[in-house]
Amino acid sequence: MIRDFLAADQCLKCNICTASCPVAKVTDLFLGPKAVGPQILRFRHPDYALPNVGEEWCSSCGTCSLVCPHDVPVAEMIARMKERPTRKVPWRDRIISRPEVIGRFASRITPLANSLLKSPRLRSALEKYLGISSKAILPALARTNFKKALREYYVRTPNRLEEISRLTVGYFHGCSTNYFEPRIGELAIAILERLGLYVFLPPQVCCGLPLQSNGLFDAARKLATQNIKYLEPFLRERIPIIGTSPSCTLAFKHNYRAILGIDTEESRLLANSTYDFFEFILHFMPDELFRIKFRGVAARALYHPPCQLRSHGIGTPALTILREIPELELEVSESACCGTAGTYGMKSERYEVAYSVGENLFRKAITMDADFIMSDSETCRWWISKHTNLPAYHPLEILARSMGIV
Amino acid sequence: MTDVLVIGAGFCGLYAAIAASKRNARVTLVASGHGGLSISHGCIDVWSSSAPSRALSRLKKTHPYRLAGKDALNTALETLDLISHDADYPFIGTLSKPTILPTAFGAIHTTAYAPLSLAQTGIQKNIPISIASIAGLRDFFPTLLSKNLEMNGYTVRRTMQLPLPGPVPQRDLYATDIAQRFADSSNRERISRLWRPRLAGVDRLGLPAVLGLHHSQRVFRSVQDLLGVELFEIPTPPPSLPGLRLENMLSDTAIKMGVDIILGSPAAGRIDHSGKNKRVSGVSLQTAGGEQNLDAHSVILATGGLLHGGLVAGRNGNIVESVFNLPVEYAESHQEWLKPSPFDEQPYEKYGLLVNSRMQPIDLHGDPIFENLFAAGGIIAGADRQIEGSRQGIDIATAQRAVEAALE
């Protein structure tokens, strides 16, 4: 924690973070990142816990850290405050922060689970007893798990890769691709293979980010340690890990070290070897990629770079590539966050605020008369799609279309 | 490989990125965080004296304005005018006559170009005005403001506090909070209904700048119509909406023009040792995951001066340039950096890089240090932009010149 205190004193109180915070802008229930983060740390005392001035209103979008001109890790400070020994984490938060457990359980009874999710009775019961907003998006389960469908891609140890002479990458699919949207993973692999790469699935568990956002740090650390253990042998062979969900890859790149405090040689190796899908193909495969003659995709589309992707500090590599697709009329969302920020928008007491955060974005999509929306994060896609009634795709789905893969 | 890599996301960097993009260059802008626009008044200060154009021609040859040249300033002002019209966020003013505006503390701010909502009426000594604050808004005090204005010879007829409808807010409000309440037209009507009866006898009303963040021009006009009085906005202490609107206007324009913006990653300069000429090859970015190299044909440094991160003062009294470690012009003795009064001309304000008329940082012999490296804005030595009232003018004039030289 000493690092936090030092960084707090580095805060100039310029309020640039407050001005950019998408939550503070729409509700006075949140004091704003400066007040809840560096400012409250001024009241630190070795014998007393820090006062809580409403950190739970922070959606963990990370915008404050991103815009801070003085390198204060505001969002990280606030995230760590959520790990209070005295804090009572509601059951609801313990449930929605475990997509892998939910997915594993529900996928045994897929048809039943899917029809139950549509039942208004169940939804109002979930709202009443657990505080999961009845308007929140609980996505339908896919008929088959991604991992099960692509069993032949599974590689347990790097020894199995010795024969392969091509450039090899491991694909981290995350929970949403595995249980809800296997098509994203299938297309990701198809694109990478078209670019000449050898792709495999390393052993993996949930990245743990939802647990961390809900203040369940010990459980998040367990998953982080598990992932590091699974991936380390591949990392030692200098095999990059590519993800299509920017929140999972952000956890690998940044949160394990900067928020969960797992700052080891292995975690640094993982951070340095993890890439966002578009970041990887733009920087490492540009010749292979731009050699392809892209087919036109005649449509008007709004691209929303998720807050979690912005926090990678790599800009918007998907946008750079999408701009090369003929006939695709692109507009870019200026909103720092769509509002749902993972599990935040699922909670009854946060739903209205989450909606207000995204309102400008929804309005833009509707007034520009977009045919569809693109965003790299699954929760953003589901959320924006619900509030605009427009289809939402991962940008790689449109790239796959332009490459003639679908 | 990008044609022009701009470092810095303040007014200067954003303008440079747009100017380069207008010349059909492939542009990438990188910055470790946002620039200072959200703590700025959002106007374009060119020179604080009453006749800027005459004053500018009398400057020292080493002043950034003289180095960049008059044409660069004029081109930049025209470009900015086009951008602001496209964005429906018009600025008014001219270089021949200054625009006089009150600050949030009742001081007088002399500027060249100001957003319409701040400057459409201006303030004049013979026309009385009224000043209102809004209940719950922090750091805005109409009595202080009007007493100070009166000391400057202006007449304030009434000061008042206007309420907001709805429940009492849970905390002090920022200008951005109130702007959100003005975003929606039915809300604007509710607020105006509450305010109208309180404005008896008021025909010119100064409000803190809270009238909308997005489409603010539309918001301003509609509130003015609803209230039936002439309005002018006064920029607040941070976060300042006029600054944020300018920031949004520039970054939206840059994105629309295809500029790749990479925010949140500090940059370290990379030098190209391969050729005979001294060149930079780009930067290495410290991203969340690790280092990433970005290559560029030319690099424009728009990282700002000592207060902004472009120059960094060490504990042992040295000043270094933060990206390429370029030589900096400054007084070696720490004692000489500051004058006792904050209202004095401050020596440290003039510290920075020596550049030639192509905006290339130069060494003591006057030779460019790298042939494809250019500087713009507050990082350039030779101007006390605070005292001169020249901050934004120098930003865009030098950025314009740097872009032209980089793409020659």
Q: What is the pLDDT of residues B119-147, one digit of tens each?
A: 988 788 989 999 999 999 999 999 999 99
Distance of CA A121 to the CA centre of its chain: 30
**Other C-beta atoms within 10 Å of B61: how many?**
8
Instruction: Compute the distance between CA of residue B396 and CA of residue A45 in angstroms, rounded to an integer.
Output: 47
Picking from B5, B138, B170, B257 by the largest number of A CB atoms within 10 A of its own CB, the best residue to mutate is B170
Instruction: Compute the distance between CA of residue A26 and CA of residue B178 in angstroms, rounded to an integer.
Output: 9
Please count the residues of chain B: 408
Reading the block at residue B215, the tokens are: 């489409």
Predicted pLDDT at A70: 84
Structural contact between residues B138 and B172, judged by C-beta atoms closer than 8 angstroms:
yes
Q: What is the dihedral of CA B12, B18, B23, B24, to 10 degrees?
A: 140
pLDDT of A167-207, one tens digit each?
999 999 999 999 999 999 999 999 999 999 999 999 999 99
Angle, nearest 10°, between helix axes A277-284 and A395-402? 50
Chain A residues close to B285, C-beta within 8 Å: 313-314
Write the residue in A31, A32, A271 that is nearest to B290 by C-beta.
A271
Taking 50 as the threshold, does the pLDDT of residue B292 lie above it? yes
Strands (DSSP E) contained in A63-194 are: 168-172
Please count the residues of chain A: 406
Q: Facing residues of A87 across strands? A: none
Instruction: Tell me what the pLDDT averaged over chain B comes to.
Output: 94
Picking from A13, A61, A67, A359 by the largest number of B CB atoms within 10 A of its own CB, the best residue to mutate is A67
Which is nearest to A167 in space by CA: A145, A194, A199?
A199
The domain made up of A2-82 is a member of CATH 1.10.1060.10: yes
Report the predicted TM-score, pTM, of the whole model to 2 decimal places.
0.95
Reading the block at residue A189, the tokens are: 């692999």
Picking from B39, B168, B187 by the largest number of A CB atoms within 10 A of its own CB, the best residue to mutate is B39
Backbone angles phi, psi at A211, to 5 degrees: -65, -45
Distances B36 to B39, B42, B101, B215, B397 between C-alpha atoms, Å: 6, 10, 20, 21, 18
Instruction: Compute the distance between CA of residue A212 and CA of residue A210 in angstroms, rounded to an integer.
Output: 5
Structural contact between residues B15 and B250, judged by C-beta atoms closer than 8 angstroms:
yes
ipTM score for this prediction: 0.93
Mean per-residue pLDDT, B208-228: 96
For A360, the closest chain B residue by CA position comes to B214
DSSP state letter for A220: H
Predicted pLDDT at A2: 42
Structural domains of chain B, with CATH? 2-89+244-406 (3.50.50.60), 104-234 (3.40.50)
Q: Facing residues of B92 across strands? A: B114
DSSP state letter for B329: B
Distances A19 to A70, A183, A217, A291, B314 between C-alpha atoms, Å: 15, 38, 29, 43, 30
Element (H, E) at A299: strand A299-304
Q: Where are the domains of chain A?
A: 2-82, 89-130, 146-284, 291-402
pLDDT of B305-352, one tens digit each?
998 999 999 888 899 999 999 999 998 888 889 898 888 889 999 999
**Other C-beta atoms within 10 Å of B369: how many?**
18
Rg of chain B taking only CA atoms, in angstroms: 22
Instruction: Compute the distance between CA of residue A34 and CA of residue A39 in angstroms, rounded to an integer.
Output: 6
Instruction: Compute the distance between CA of residue A55 and CA of residue A298 in angstroms, rounded to an integer.
Output: 44
Question: Nearest 5°: CA angle at A316, between A315 and A320?
Answer: 125
Residue with tokens 């990433």: B292
DSSP state letter for A177: I
How far does the CA of residue B367 sit from the closest CA of chain A (Å)?
32
Distance of CA B293 to the CA centre of its chain: 29
For B304, the closest chain A residue by CA position comes to A69
Mean per-residue pLDDT, B288-311: 95
Write the residue in A19, A68, A312 that is nearest to B239 by C-beta.
A19
Q: Write the CATH number of the domain with boundaries A291-402.
A: 3.40.50
Residues (pLDDT < 50) of chain A are 1-2
Q: Which CATH class is domain A146-284?
A: mainly alpha
Structural contact between residues A351 and A92, judged by C-beta atoms closer than 8 angstroms:
no
Chain A residues close to B252, C-beta within 8 Å: 334
Reading the block at residue B89, the tokens are: 């966020």
Predicted pLDDT at B332: 86
Q: Do B261 and A315 touch (CB under 8 A)?
A: yes
How far does the CA of residue A199 sit from the closest CA of chain B (Å)?
21
State the alpha helices, DSSP H only, in A215-274.
217-236, 246-250, 256-258, 265-273
